[in-house]
A and B are shown apart, each in its own frame.
Chain A
Amino acid sequence: MIALLRRAGVARMPLSLYNLLFFTFLVAPIIVVVAASFTAGNAITVPYHGVSLRWYRRLIEYRPFIDSLMTSVYLALSSAFVAILLAVPAAIALGRSRSAVAAALTTFLLAPVAIPALVIGFSLLYFLSSLGIGVSFVALLIAHTVISVPYVMRTVLAVYRNVGINFEEAAAVLGANRWQRFYFVTLPLISPGVFAGALFAVLISLDNLPVSYFFGTANVTTLPVVMLSYLQNQLDPAIASISTVQMLIAIGLLLVVERTYGLRALNA
Protein backbone atom coordinates (compact mmCIF):
# COMPACT_ATOMS: atom_id res chain seq x y z
CA MET A 1 0.00 0.00 0.00
CA ILE A 2 2.78 2.36 0.97
CA ALA A 3 4.68 1.40 -2.16
CA LEU A 4 1.61 2.19 -4.21
CA LEU A 5 1.26 5.60 -2.55
CA ARG A 6 4.91 6.32 -3.15
CA ARG A 7 4.63 5.45 -6.83
CA ALA A 8 1.60 7.69 -7.13
CA GLY A 9 3.59 10.57 -5.56
CA VAL A 10 0.96 10.96 -2.88
CA ALA A 11 3.58 10.66 -0.17
CA ARG A 12 5.16 13.90 -1.43
CA MET A 13 1.94 15.85 -1.23
CA PRO A 14 2.30 17.12 2.37
CA LEU A 15 5.80 18.38 1.60
CA SER A 16 4.63 20.00 -1.63
CA LEU A 17 1.72 21.62 0.19
CA TYR A 18 4.05 22.88 2.91
CA ASN A 19 6.40 24.34 0.28
CA LEU A 20 3.49 26.03 -1.49
CA LEU A 21 2.20 27.60 1.72
CA PHE A 22 5.70 28.73 2.74
CA PHE A 23 6.32 30.24 -0.70
CA THR A 24 2.98 32.03 -0.57
CA PHE A 25 3.77 33.39 2.90
CA LEU A 26 7.06 34.80 1.58
CA VAL A 27 5.81 36.16 -1.71
CA ALA A 28 2.36 37.51 -0.74
CA PRO A 29 3.62 40.72 0.97
CA ILE A 30 5.83 41.44 -2.06
CA ILE A 31 2.86 41.01 -4.41
CA VAL A 32 0.79 43.39 -2.25
CA VAL A 33 3.51 46.06 -2.44
CA VAL A 34 3.92 45.70 -6.21
CA ALA A 35 0.14 45.82 -6.73
CA ALA A 36 -0.13 48.93 -4.50
CA SER A 37 2.41 50.71 -6.68
CA PHE A 38 -0.06 50.63 -9.59
CA THR A 39 -3.04 52.06 -7.70
CA ALA A 40 -4.73 55.15 -9.10
CA GLY A 41 -5.76 56.26 -5.59
CA ASN A 42 -3.92 58.65 -3.27
CA ALA A 43 -3.35 56.12 -0.55
CA ILE A 44 -2.28 52.53 -0.05
CA THR A 45 -5.59 50.82 0.52
CA VAL A 46 -7.03 47.38 -0.13
CA PRO A 47 -8.96 46.99 -2.40
CA TYR A 48 -7.03 49.22 -4.82
CA HIS A 49 -8.69 52.10 -6.64
CA GLY A 50 -7.99 51.63 -10.35
CA VAL A 51 -4.71 51.15 -12.18
CA SER A 52 -2.29 53.93 -12.96
CA LEU A 53 1.40 54.68 -13.49
CA ARG A 54 1.18 58.01 -11.66
CA TRP A 55 3.23 56.80 -8.73
CA TYR A 56 6.05 55.80 -11.07
CA ARG A 57 5.90 59.28 -12.60
CA ARG A 58 6.18 60.58 -9.01
CA LEU A 59 9.55 58.81 -8.73
CA ILE A 60 10.87 60.97 -11.55
CA GLU A 61 9.28 64.14 -10.19
CA TYR A 62 10.67 63.62 -6.68
CA ARG A 63 14.34 63.95 -7.51
CA PRO A 64 15.79 62.49 -4.26
CA PHE A 65 14.37 59.06 -5.12
CA ILE A 66 16.29 58.74 -8.37
CA ASP A 67 19.46 60.40 -7.09
CA SER A 68 19.60 58.21 -4.01
CA LEU A 69 18.80 55.09 -6.04
CA MET A 70 21.83 55.77 -8.29
CA THR A 71 23.96 56.36 -5.19
CA SER A 72 22.77 53.10 -3.61
CA VAL A 73 23.52 51.06 -6.72
CA TYR A 74 27.00 52.59 -7.17
CA LEU A 75 27.73 52.16 -3.49
CA ALA A 76 26.57 48.55 -3.41
CA LEU A 77 28.71 47.54 -6.40
CA SER A 78 31.73 49.54 -5.24
CA SER A 79 31.64 48.27 -1.66
CA ALA A 80 31.25 44.67 -2.86
CA PHE A 81 34.29 45.12 -5.12
CA VAL A 82 36.43 46.60 -2.35
CA ALA A 83 35.22 43.85 0.01
CA ILE A 84 36.41 41.27 -2.54
CA LEU A 85 39.84 42.93 -2.69
CA LEU A 86 40.13 42.68 1.11
CA ALA A 87 38.32 39.43 1.89
CA VAL A 88 39.68 37.11 -0.80
CA PRO A 89 43.38 37.50 0.08
CA ALA A 90 42.46 37.31 3.78
CA ALA A 91 40.47 34.11 3.27
CA ILE A 92 43.30 32.49 1.32
CA ALA A 93 45.89 33.51 3.91
CA LEU A 94 43.81 32.36 6.85
CA GLY A 95 41.74 29.55 5.36
CA ARG A 96 44.11 26.66 5.87
CA SER A 97 46.08 27.96 8.83
CA ARG A 98 45.63 26.18 12.13
CA SER A 99 47.23 28.84 14.30
CA ALA A 100 45.37 30.62 17.09
CA VAL A 101 46.26 33.97 15.53
CA ALA A 102 44.62 32.94 12.24
CA ALA A 103 41.49 31.84 14.08
CA ALA A 104 41.38 35.16 15.95
CA LEU A 105 41.85 37.17 12.77
CA THR A 106 39.14 35.18 11.01
CA THR A 107 36.75 35.86 13.86
CA PHE A 108 37.67 39.54 13.80
CA LEU A 109 36.97 39.84 10.08
CA LEU A 110 33.62 38.09 10.49
CA ALA A 111 32.69 40.14 13.60
CA PRO A 112 30.76 42.99 11.91
CA VAL A 113 27.93 40.56 11.28
CA ALA A 114 27.43 40.18 15.03
CA ILE A 115 27.60 43.88 15.91
CA PRO A 116 24.40 45.97 15.59
CA ALA A 117 24.67 47.97 12.40
CA LEU A 118 23.54 51.13 14.22
CA VAL A 119 26.55 50.83 16.53
CA ILE A 120 28.87 50.32 13.54
CA GLY A 121 27.46 53.38 11.78
CA PHE A 122 27.60 55.60 14.85
CA SER A 123 31.14 54.53 15.74
CA LEU A 124 32.45 54.86 12.19
CA LEU A 125 30.99 58.37 11.89
CA TYR A 126 33.07 59.62 14.80
CA PHE A 127 36.13 57.51 13.97
CA LEU A 128 36.33 58.53 10.31
CA SER A 129 35.68 62.15 11.23
CA SER A 130 38.61 62.04 13.64
CA LEU A 131 40.76 60.86 10.72
CA GLY A 132 39.62 63.81 8.64
CA ILE A 133 37.24 61.78 6.48
CA GLY A 134 34.00 63.68 6.93
CA VAL A 135 30.56 62.60 5.77
CA SER A 136 31.09 61.79 2.08
CA PHE A 137 30.90 58.98 -0.44
CA VAL A 138 34.32 57.76 0.71
CA ALA A 139 33.08 57.47 4.29
CA LEU A 140 29.95 55.65 3.10
CA LEU A 141 32.09 53.32 0.98
CA ILE A 142 34.30 52.48 3.95
CA ALA A 143 31.29 51.86 6.18
CA HIS A 144 29.58 49.61 3.65
CA THR A 145 32.80 47.74 2.98
CA VAL A 146 33.11 47.00 6.71
CA ILE A 147 29.69 45.32 6.69
CA SER A 148 30.28 43.61 3.33
CA VAL A 149 33.64 41.97 4.11
CA PRO A 150 32.14 39.26 6.40
CA TYR A 151 29.74 38.10 3.68
CA VAL A 152 32.49 37.71 1.08
CA MET A 153 34.92 36.26 3.63
CA ARG A 154 32.44 33.67 4.88
CA THR A 155 31.58 32.22 1.49
CA VAL A 156 35.13 32.32 0.14
CA LEU A 157 36.45 30.62 3.28
CA ALA A 158 33.87 27.84 2.98
CA VAL A 159 34.63 27.22 -0.70
CA TYR A 160 38.41 27.49 -0.27
CA ARG A 161 38.49 25.00 2.58
CA ASN A 162 36.53 22.53 0.45
CA VAL A 163 38.88 22.84 -2.50
CA GLY A 164 41.62 20.25 -2.24
CA ILE A 165 45.15 21.50 -1.70
CA ASN A 166 46.24 19.03 -4.42
CA PHE A 167 45.44 21.47 -7.23
CA GLU A 168 47.76 24.16 -5.88
CA GLU A 169 50.45 21.57 -5.12
CA ALA A 170 50.19 20.15 -8.63
CA ALA A 171 50.54 23.62 -10.11
CA ALA A 172 53.57 24.27 -7.92
CA VAL A 173 55.14 21.00 -8.98
CA LEU A 174 54.60 21.97 -12.62
CA GLY A 175 56.50 25.20 -12.09
CA ALA A 176 53.79 27.81 -11.45
CA ASN A 177 54.88 30.65 -9.20
CA ARG A 178 52.72 31.97 -6.35
CA TRP A 179 50.86 34.52 -8.47
CA GLN A 180 50.25 32.01 -11.30
CA ARG A 181 48.94 29.46 -8.83
CA PHE A 182 46.52 32.05 -7.39
CA TYR A 183 45.35 33.48 -10.73
CA PHE A 184 45.11 30.33 -12.84
CA VAL A 185 44.24 27.70 -10.23
CA THR A 186 42.95 29.03 -6.92
CA LEU A 187 40.87 31.96 -8.11
CA PRO A 188 38.82 30.02 -10.68
CA LEU A 189 38.18 27.31 -8.10
CA ILE A 190 36.94 29.75 -5.44
CA SER A 191 35.08 32.03 -7.84
CA PRO A 192 31.66 30.54 -6.89
CA GLY A 193 32.31 31.66 -3.34
CA VAL A 194 33.49 35.08 -4.47
CA PHE A 195 30.40 35.63 -6.59
CA ALA A 196 28.04 34.35 -3.91
CA GLY A 197 29.66 36.56 -1.28
CA ALA A 198 29.63 39.57 -3.60
CA LEU A 199 25.96 39.00 -4.35
CA PHE A 200 25.12 38.94 -0.64
CA ALA A 201 27.26 42.04 -0.10
CA VAL A 202 25.47 43.95 -2.86
CA LEU A 203 22.03 43.03 -1.57
CA ILE A 204 22.97 43.87 2.04
CA SER A 205 24.35 47.23 0.96
CA LEU A 206 21.32 48.12 -1.18
CA ASP A 207 19.02 47.47 1.75
CA ASN A 208 21.14 48.96 4.52
CA LEU A 209 19.70 51.78 6.63
CA PRO A 210 21.38 51.85 10.07
CA VAL A 211 24.91 52.41 8.70
CA SER A 212 23.93 54.73 5.84
CA TYR A 213 21.82 56.77 8.25
CA PHE A 214 24.83 58.57 9.69
CA PHE A 215 26.58 59.41 6.43
CA GLY A 216 23.90 61.01 4.30
CA THR A 217 24.68 64.34 2.69
CA ALA A 218 22.79 66.43 0.15
CA ASN A 219 24.63 64.81 -2.76
CA VAL A 220 25.31 61.39 -1.30
CA THR A 221 22.34 59.79 0.40
CA THR A 222 21.21 56.23 -0.04
CA LEU A 223 17.73 55.16 -1.01
CA PRO A 224 16.72 53.60 2.33
CA VAL A 225 17.54 56.87 4.14
CA VAL A 226 15.48 58.90 1.67
CA MET A 227 12.63 56.40 1.87
CA LEU A 228 12.60 56.61 5.67
CA SER A 229 12.60 60.41 5.58
CA TYR A 230 9.78 60.36 3.02
CA LEU A 231 7.72 57.85 5.01
CA GLN A 232 8.06 59.86 8.21
CA ASN A 233 6.41 62.83 6.56
CA GLN A 234 4.22 61.48 3.78
CA LEU A 235 2.52 58.14 3.24
CA ASP A 236 1.51 57.51 -0.35
CA PRO A 237 1.98 54.72 -2.93
CA ALA A 238 5.23 56.31 -4.19
CA ILE A 239 6.92 54.24 -1.49
CA ALA A 240 5.45 51.10 -3.07
CA SER A 241 6.73 52.12 -6.53
CA ILE A 242 10.28 52.87 -5.38
CA SER A 243 10.26 49.57 -3.45
CA THR A 244 9.20 47.77 -6.64
CA VAL A 245 12.00 49.44 -8.59
CA GLN A 246 14.48 48.41 -5.90
CA MET A 247 13.25 44.82 -6.06
CA LEU A 248 13.57 44.85 -9.86
CA ILE A 249 17.19 45.96 -9.52
CA ALA A 250 17.91 43.08 -7.17
CA ILE A 251 16.24 40.67 -9.60
CA GLY A 252 18.21 42.26 -12.43
CA LEU A 253 21.45 41.62 -10.55
CA LEU A 254 20.50 37.99 -10.10
CA LEU A 255 19.84 37.71 -13.83
CA VAL A 256 23.23 39.26 -14.62
CA VAL A 257 24.93 36.75 -12.32
CA GLU A 258 22.95 33.95 -13.95
CA ARG A 259 24.05 35.04 -17.43
CA THR A 260 27.71 35.57 -16.56
CA TYR A 261 28.24 32.75 -14.14
CA GLY A 262 25.14 30.76 -13.46
CA LEU A 263 23.37 30.72 -10.12
CA ARG A 264 23.68 26.94 -9.84
CA ALA A 265 27.47 27.26 -9.96
CA LEU A 266 27.31 29.43 -6.82
CA ASN A 267 26.05 26.43 -4.92
CA ALA A 268 28.78 24.17 -6.32
Chain B
Amino acid sequence: MRSSRIFTPGAVFALTAALSLSAHAADLTVTAFGGSWEKAYRTCFVQPFEKATGKSVDVVLGNPLQWVNQVAANPSKPPIDVIVSTPEAAYKAISLNLLDPVTAADVPNVAQLDPRLVAYGKGYGFPITFGDFGLMYNTKTVKNPPKTWKEFVDGTVAGKWQAALPGIAYVATPPGLITLFTKVYGGSSTNIQPALDQIKRMSASGNATFYSDPNTPLMSMRSGDVDIAMYYDGRAWAEHDANNPDIGFISPSPGSVAFPNMAQKVKNGSPLGRQFLNELASADGQSCFVNAMQYAASNRNVKYDPRVAPRIATKDKSIWVEFEQISEHSPQWIEQWNKQIGH
Protein backbone atom coordinates (compact mmCIF):
# COMPACT_ATOMS: atom_id res chain seq x y z
CA MET B 1 0.00 0.00 0.00
CA ARG B 2 1.30 3.50 -0.75
CA SER B 3 0.68 4.64 2.80
CA SER B 4 3.06 1.99 4.08
CA ARG B 5 5.74 3.45 1.83
CA ILE B 6 5.56 6.54 3.97
CA PHE B 7 5.49 4.95 7.38
CA THR B 8 7.63 1.84 7.19
CA PRO B 9 10.99 3.27 6.10
CA GLY B 10 10.48 6.32 8.24
CA ALA B 11 9.80 4.29 11.36
CA VAL B 12 12.82 2.11 10.70
CA PHE B 13 15.08 5.11 10.29
CA ALA B 14 13.79 6.98 13.31
CA LEU B 15 14.22 3.96 15.56
CA THR B 16 17.61 3.04 14.13
CA ALA B 17 18.83 6.57 14.50
CA ALA B 18 17.74 6.90 18.09
CA LEU B 19 19.32 3.57 19.02
CA SER B 20 22.54 3.86 17.08
CA LEU B 21 23.28 7.41 18.07
CA SER B 22 22.79 6.91 21.80
CA ALA B 23 26.51 6.18 21.95
CA HIS B 24 28.40 5.62 25.18
CA ALA B 25 29.68 8.97 26.51
CA ALA B 26 33.42 9.31 26.99
CA ASP B 27 35.08 10.08 30.35
CA LEU B 28 35.92 13.61 29.26
CA THR B 29 34.55 15.99 26.61
CA VAL B 30 36.75 18.73 25.22
CA THR B 31 36.42 21.20 22.35
CA ALA B 32 38.57 21.76 19.27
CA PHE B 33 38.64 23.76 16.08
CA GLY B 34 38.35 21.67 12.93
CA GLY B 35 40.71 20.55 10.20
CA SER B 36 44.46 20.51 10.79
CA TRP B 37 44.00 22.14 14.20
CA GLU B 38 41.95 19.20 15.41
CA LYS B 39 44.40 16.69 13.97
CA ALA B 40 47.35 18.28 15.80
CA TYR B 41 45.28 18.64 18.98
CA ARG B 42 44.39 14.94 19.02
CA THR B 43 47.96 13.86 18.25
CA CYS B 44 49.67 16.17 20.72
CA PHE B 45 47.22 16.33 23.64
CA VAL B 46 44.29 13.91 23.43
CA GLN B 47 46.15 10.71 22.54
CA PRO B 48 48.95 11.19 25.12
CA PHE B 49 46.31 11.96 27.76
CA GLU B 50 44.31 8.84 26.92
CA LYS B 51 47.48 6.75 26.95
CA ALA B 52 48.65 8.13 30.29
CA THR B 53 45.31 7.97 32.11
CA GLY B 54 43.46 5.14 30.36
CA LYS B 55 40.45 7.47 30.06
CA SER B 56 38.55 8.21 26.86
CA VAL B 57 38.16 11.72 25.47
CA ASP B 58 35.46 13.01 23.14
CA VAL B 59 36.33 16.00 20.98
CA VAL B 60 33.55 18.42 20.00
CA LEU B 61 34.05 20.41 16.82
CA GLY B 62 32.37 23.73 16.27
CA ASN B 63 32.68 27.33 17.30
CA PRO B 64 33.55 28.94 20.67
CA LEU B 65 30.30 30.88 21.05
CA GLN B 66 28.38 27.68 20.33
CA TRP B 67 30.23 25.92 23.16
CA VAL B 68 29.75 28.78 25.62
CA ASN B 69 26.02 28.81 24.88
CA GLN B 70 25.77 25.04 25.31
CA VAL B 71 27.41 25.29 28.72
CA ALA B 72 25.35 28.36 29.68
CA ALA B 73 22.16 26.46 28.81
CA ASN B 74 23.19 23.49 30.99
CA PRO B 75 25.33 24.92 33.82
CA SER B 76 24.56 22.19 36.35
CA LYS B 77 25.27 19.36 33.92
CA PRO B 78 27.47 20.86 31.21
CA PRO B 79 27.97 18.85 28.00
CA ILE B 80 31.60 20.02 27.84
CA ASP B 81 34.35 19.65 30.45
CA VAL B 82 37.23 21.65 28.95
CA ILE B 83 36.80 24.51 26.51
CA VAL B 84 39.62 25.65 24.26
CA SER B 85 38.44 28.79 22.58
CA THR B 86 39.08 32.36 21.49
CA PRO B 87 39.58 35.24 23.96
CA GLU B 88 36.14 36.79 23.34
CA ALA B 89 34.35 33.54 24.14
CA ALA B 90 36.73 32.89 27.04
CA TYR B 91 35.89 36.19 28.74
CA LYS B 92 32.22 35.67 28.00
CA ALA B 93 32.39 32.36 29.85
CA ILE B 94 34.14 34.07 32.78
CA SER B 95 31.50 36.82 32.94
CA LEU B 96 28.73 34.18 32.98
CA ASN B 97 30.42 32.36 35.89
CA LEU B 98 30.66 29.12 33.94
CA LEU B 99 34.22 28.20 34.86
CA ASP B 100 36.31 26.81 37.69
CA PRO B 101 39.44 28.73 38.77
CA VAL B 102 42.73 27.31 37.49
CA THR B 103 45.90 27.54 39.57
CA ALA B 104 49.28 25.85 39.68
CA ALA B 105 48.11 24.04 42.81
CA ASP B 106 45.65 21.89 40.88
CA VAL B 107 47.27 22.12 37.41
CA PRO B 108 51.01 21.81 38.19
CA ASN B 109 52.25 22.51 34.66
CA VAL B 110 50.84 26.05 34.91
CA ALA B 111 54.03 26.85 36.83
CA GLN B 112 55.99 26.30 33.59
CA LEU B 113 53.95 28.86 31.66
CA ASP B 114 54.92 32.49 31.11
CA PRO B 115 53.29 34.25 34.11
CA ARG B 116 52.26 37.20 31.95
CA LEU B 117 50.28 34.82 29.73
CA VAL B 118 48.78 33.04 32.73
CA ALA B 119 47.63 36.44 34.06
CA TYR B 120 45.84 36.93 30.75
CA GLY B 121 43.48 34.12 31.73
CA LYS B 122 42.31 36.12 34.80
CA GLY B 123 42.67 33.05 37.02
CA TYR B 124 40.19 30.99 34.96
CA GLY B 125 42.47 29.40 32.41
CA PHE B 126 45.53 30.09 30.34
CA PRO B 127 46.60 30.51 26.72
CA ILE B 128 47.98 27.38 25.11
CA THR B 129 49.35 29.15 22.06
CA PHE B 130 49.17 32.59 20.49
CA GLY B 131 49.80 34.05 17.07
CA ASP B 132 50.21 37.51 15.60
CA PHE B 133 47.75 39.23 13.29
CA GLY B 134 50.34 40.86 11.06
CA LEU B 135 50.89 41.14 7.33
CA MET B 136 50.99 38.25 4.87
CA TYR B 137 52.47 39.40 1.55
CA ASN B 138 53.52 38.21 -1.87
CA THR B 139 57.31 38.26 -1.93
CA LYS B 140 57.32 38.58 -5.73
CA THR B 141 55.13 41.69 -5.98
CA VAL B 142 56.02 43.33 -2.66
CA LYS B 143 59.82 43.43 -2.68
CA ASN B 144 60.02 45.85 0.26
CA PRO B 145 57.27 44.98 2.74
CA PRO B 146 56.23 47.82 5.10
CA LYS B 147 58.24 47.96 8.32
CA THR B 148 55.61 49.98 10.16
CA TRP B 149 51.83 50.07 10.15
CA LYS B 150 51.85 53.68 8.99
CA GLU B 151 54.00 52.62 6.04
CA PHE B 152 51.42 49.93 5.26
CA VAL B 153 48.53 52.42 5.31
CA ASP B 154 50.37 55.08 3.30
CA GLY B 155 51.64 52.48 0.82
CA THR B 156 48.10 51.21 0.25
CA VAL B 157 46.76 54.72 -0.27
CA ALA B 158 49.60 55.46 -2.70
CA GLY B 159 48.81 52.33 -4.70
CA LYS B 160 52.08 50.49 -4.01
CA TRP B 161 50.07 47.26 -3.54
CA GLN B 162 46.56 45.87 -3.40
CA ALA B 163 45.72 45.20 0.25
CA ALA B 164 43.14 43.01 1.98
CA LEU B 165 41.77 44.04 5.37
CA PRO B 166 39.31 42.21 7.60
CA GLY B 167 35.80 43.65 7.34
CA ILE B 168 33.57 44.41 10.29
CA ALA B 169 31.85 41.02 9.95
CA TYR B 170 35.11 39.24 10.70
CA VAL B 171 35.79 38.35 14.34
CA ALA B 172 39.40 39.63 14.33
CA THR B 173 38.53 43.16 13.19
CA PRO B 174 37.73 44.93 16.48
CA PRO B 175 40.89 43.77 18.27
CA GLY B 176 43.22 43.13 15.34
CA LEU B 177 42.48 46.19 13.19
CA ILE B 178 40.51 48.87 15.04
CA THR B 179 42.30 48.55 18.40
CA LEU B 180 45.66 48.27 16.64
CA PHE B 181 45.05 51.46 14.64
CA THR B 182 43.93 53.36 17.78
CA LYS B 183 47.30 52.46 19.30
CA VAL B 184 49.18 53.55 16.17
CA TYR B 185 47.17 56.67 15.27
CA GLY B 186 45.77 57.72 18.62
CA GLY B 187 42.33 57.27 20.07
CA SER B 188 40.88 54.93 22.64
CA SER B 189 38.14 52.38 23.16
CA THR B 190 35.63 55.27 23.37
CA ASN B 191 37.11 57.20 20.46
CA ILE B 192 38.03 55.09 17.46
CA GLN B 193 37.68 57.88 14.91
CA PRO B 194 41.44 58.18 14.24
CA ALA B 195 41.46 54.47 13.33
CA LEU B 196 38.36 54.75 11.17
CA ASP B 197 39.83 57.75 9.34
CA GLN B 198 42.82 55.67 8.22
CA ILE B 199 40.65 52.73 7.19
CA LYS B 200 38.47 55.15 5.21
CA ARG B 201 41.59 56.52 3.48
CA MET B 202 42.57 53.04 2.43
CA SER B 203 39.06 52.15 1.28
CA ALA B 204 38.66 55.39 -0.68
CA SER B 205 41.95 54.83 -2.48
CA GLY B 206 40.47 51.80 -4.28
CA ASN B 207 43.53 49.74 -3.32
CA ALA B 208 41.96 47.90 -0.37
CA THR B 209 39.36 45.15 -0.23
CA PHE B 210 37.65 43.74 2.85
CA TYR B 211 37.18 40.08 3.70
CA SER B 212 34.79 38.36 6.10
CA ASP B 213 36.15 34.82 6.21
CA PRO B 214 39.70 33.51 6.75
CA ASN B 215 40.00 31.76 3.39
CA THR B 216 39.35 34.74 1.13
CA PRO B 217 42.83 36.33 1.56
CA LEU B 218 44.48 32.99 0.72
CA MET B 219 42.42 32.61 -2.46
CA SER B 220 43.04 36.25 -3.40
CA MET B 221 46.79 35.85 -2.92
CA ARG B 222 46.83 32.76 -5.11
CA SER B 223 44.93 34.51 -7.87
CA GLY B 224 47.04 37.65 -7.65
CA ASP B 225 44.11 39.92 -6.78
CA VAL B 226 45.80 40.91 -3.54
CA ASP B 227 49.49 41.56 -2.79
CA ILE B 228 49.36 42.02 0.95
CA ALA B 229 46.80 41.14 3.64
CA MET B 230 46.34 41.51 7.38
CA TYR B 231 46.41 37.88 8.53
CA TYR B 232 47.53 35.34 11.14
CA ASP B 233 51.16 34.24 11.11
CA GLY B 234 50.53 30.49 11.65
CA ARG B 235 48.00 30.28 8.84
CA ALA B 236 50.21 32.33 6.52
CA TRP B 237 53.14 29.95 7.08
CA ALA B 238 50.87 26.92 6.63
CA GLU B 239 49.79 28.32 3.25
CA HIS B 240 53.42 29.01 2.38
CA ASP B 241 54.40 25.41 3.14
CA ALA B 242 51.40 23.74 1.49
CA ASN B 243 50.44 25.82 -1.53
CA ASN B 244 52.18 29.12 -2.06
CA PRO B 245 55.94 29.43 -1.47
CA ASP B 246 55.80 33.07 -2.58
CA ILE B 247 54.15 34.06 0.68
CA GLY B 248 56.06 35.92 3.37
CA PHE B 249 54.99 37.31 6.76
CA ILE B 250 55.98 40.38 8.70
CA SER B 251 54.87 42.04 11.95
CA PRO B 252 55.24 45.78 11.33
CA SER B 253 56.30 48.12 14.10
CA PRO B 254 55.12 48.71 16.82
CA GLY B 255 53.93 45.09 16.66
CA SER B 256 50.85 43.01 15.78
CA VAL B 257 47.94 42.08 17.97
CA ALA B 258 48.37 38.68 19.60
CA PHE B 259 45.47 36.22 19.43
CA PRO B 260 45.74 33.45 22.02
CA ASN B 261 43.80 30.17 22.29
CA MET B 262 42.46 29.94 25.84
CA ALA B 263 42.03 26.68 27.75
CA GLN B 264 39.46 26.65 30.55
CA LYS B 265 37.78 24.15 32.85
CA VAL B 266 33.99 24.23 32.95
CA LYS B 267 32.28 24.39 36.34
CA ASN B 268 30.48 21.15 37.30
CA GLY B 269 32.35 19.33 34.56
CA SER B 270 34.41 16.19 35.08
CA PRO B 271 37.33 16.52 37.57
CA LEU B 272 39.44 14.89 34.85
CA GLY B 273 39.32 18.30 33.23
CA ARG B 274 42.12 19.51 35.49
CA GLN B 275 44.33 16.62 34.41
CA PHE B 276 43.61 17.44 30.79
CA LEU B 277 44.46 21.09 31.39
CA ASN B 278 47.76 19.83 32.80
CA GLU B 279 48.36 18.03 29.51
CA LEU B 280 47.52 21.22 27.59
CA ALA B 281 50.05 23.14 29.69
CA SER B 282 52.81 20.53 29.32
CA ALA B 283 56.07 21.26 27.49
CA ASP B 284 55.89 18.02 25.48
CA GLY B 285 52.31 18.56 24.38
CA GLN B 286 52.85 22.19 23.46
CA SER B 287 56.14 21.44 21.66
CA CYS B 288 54.34 18.91 19.47
CA PHE B 289 51.41 21.26 18.84
CA VAL B 290 53.23 24.51 18.12
CA ASN B 291 55.64 22.84 15.71
CA ALA B 292 52.65 21.45 13.81
CA MET B 293 50.62 24.68 13.82
CA GLN B 294 53.49 27.21 13.83
CA TYR B 295 52.15 29.33 16.68
CA ALA B 296 54.01 30.47 19.79
CA ALA B 297 53.61 28.46 23.00
CA SER B 298 52.82 29.63 26.51
CA ASN B 299 55.12 27.03 28.11
CA ARG B 300 58.63 28.45 28.58
CA ASN B 301 60.28 25.05 28.13
CA VAL B 302 58.94 24.30 24.64
CA LYS B 303 61.43 23.22 21.96
CA TYR B 304 60.84 24.76 18.54
CA ASP B 305 61.97 23.10 15.33
CA PRO B 306 64.66 25.12 13.52
CA ARG B 307 62.17 25.68 10.65
CA VAL B 308 59.49 27.04 13.00
CA ALA B 309 61.56 29.08 15.49
CA PRO B 310 62.16 32.13 13.26
CA ARG B 311 58.52 32.25 12.24
CA ILE B 312 56.67 32.43 15.53
CA ALA B 313 55.50 35.45 17.49
CA THR B 314 57.22 36.55 20.68
CA LYS B 315 55.41 37.82 23.72
CA ASP B 316 57.42 41.00 24.06
CA LYS B 317 57.01 42.06 20.44
CA SER B 318 53.27 41.37 20.21
CA ILE B 319 50.55 43.80 21.23
CA TRP B 320 48.29 42.37 23.96
CA VAL B 321 44.82 43.93 23.98
CA GLU B 322 41.99 43.74 26.51
CA PHE B 323 39.49 41.54 24.70
CA GLU B 324 36.79 41.91 27.35
CA GLN B 325 36.92 45.69 27.05
CA ILE B 326 36.74 45.40 23.26
CA SER B 327 33.67 43.15 23.53
CA GLU B 328 31.91 45.83 25.60
CA HIS B 329 32.50 48.51 22.98
CA SER B 330 32.13 46.39 19.85
CA PRO B 331 28.44 47.17 19.23
CA GLN B 332 29.20 50.93 19.05
CA TRP B 333 32.27 50.30 16.89
CA ILE B 334 30.22 48.18 14.48
CA GLU B 335 27.63 50.93 14.20
CA GLN B 336 30.26 53.57 13.50
CA TRP B 337 31.98 51.36 10.94
CA ASN B 338 28.70 50.61 9.14
CA LYS B 339 27.84 54.31 8.96
CA GLN B 340 31.25 55.45 7.74
CA ILE B 341 32.78 52.55 5.84
CA GLY B 342 30.03 50.04 5.13
CA HIS B 343 32.06 46.94 4.14
Contact = CB atoms under 8 A, between A and B. Distances in A.
Interface of A: 41-45, 62, 64, 71, 74-75, 77-78, 80-82, 84, 122, 125-126, 129-130, 134-135, 137-138, 141, 183, 187-188, 191, 194-195, 198, 213-221, 225-226, 228-236, 260-261
B17 A235 contact: no
B37 to A, nearest CB: 5
Contacts of B37: 233-234
A215 B73 CA distance: 11
Nearest to B57: A218
A235 B215 contact: yes
Contact of B22 (A41, A129, A137): A137
Contact of B16 (A74, A122, A134, A231): A74
B10 interface: yes
B34 A74 contact: no
Contact of B34 (A44, A80, A126, A233): A233
Contact of B2 (A45, A188, A229): A188
A262 to B, nearest CB: 11
Given A75-B17, A213-B62, A195 B6 contact: yes
Interface in B34-49: 34-39
Interface residues of B, number: 49
Contacts of B35: 229-234
Interface of B: 2-3, 5-6, 9-11, 13-14, 16-18, 20-23, 25-26, 29, 33-39, 58-63, 66, 69-70, 72-74, 77, 79, 213-215, 218-219, 222, 242-244
B29 to A, nearest CB: 6
A159 B103 CA distance: 65
A226 B61 contact: yes
A75 B16 CA distance: 11
13 contacts: A74-B16, A75-B17, A77-B10, A77-B13, A78-B10, A82-B14, A187-B2, A217-B29, A219-B25, A219-B58, A230-B35, A233-B37, A261-B5
A220 B262 CA distance: 24
A80 B36 contact: no
- Which 3 pairs across A and B sit closest by C-beta, in order of nearness? A234-B35, A229-B34, A81-B10
A213 B33 contact: no
